[in-house]
A and B are shown apart, each in its own frame.
Chain A
Amino acid sequence: MEHENISQVQVQPADKAKIWGIWKVMLFLLAVTAVEFVVALAIPLSILSHPVKVYIYIALTIVKAWAIVGEFMHLSHERKSLIWSILLPTMFIVFLLFILIVQGNAIFDALY
Chain B
Amino acid sequence: MANTAVLVDENVNAWGGGVAPMKASYGKLMMWFFLLSDAFTFSALLITYGLIRFSHPAYDGMIEDFVFSQEYWPIPEKVFEAVPFLHGVSLPLVFVGIMTFILILSSVTMVLAVEAGQRMDKAAVEKWMLWTILGGFTFLGCQAWEWSHFIHGTGGGGASLSWNEYGPSNFAALFFFITGFHGFHVFSGVMLNFIVFYQTTVGKLEKRGHYEMVEKVGLYWHFVDLVWVFVFTFFYLV
The residues of A with any CB-CB pair to B shorter than 8 Å are 9-14, 18-19, 22-23, 25-26, 29-30, 33, 36-37, 40-41, 45, 54, 57-58, 60-61, 64-65, 68-69, 72-73, 78-79, 81-82, 85-86, 89-90, 92-93, 96-97, 100-101, 103-105, 107-108, 111-112
Contact = CB atoms under 8 A, between A and B. Distances in A.
B193 interface: no
B154 to A, nearest CB: 20
A11 B120 contact: yes
Given A13-B119, A104-B53, 8 more contacts: A23-B108, A65-B226, A68-B225, A78-B24, A93-B43, A97-B47, A100-B51, A101-B51
B54 A19 contact: no
B121 A104 contact: no
A45 B119 contact: no
Interface residues of B, number: 57
A65 B231 CA distance: 12
B4 interface: no
Interface stretch (B92-100, B134-142, B156-164, B194-202): B92-100
A11 B219 CA distance: 23
Contacts of A60: 233
Contacts of A78: 22-24
B30 interface: no
B229 interface: yes
Given A11-B120, A14-B119, A26 B43 contact: no
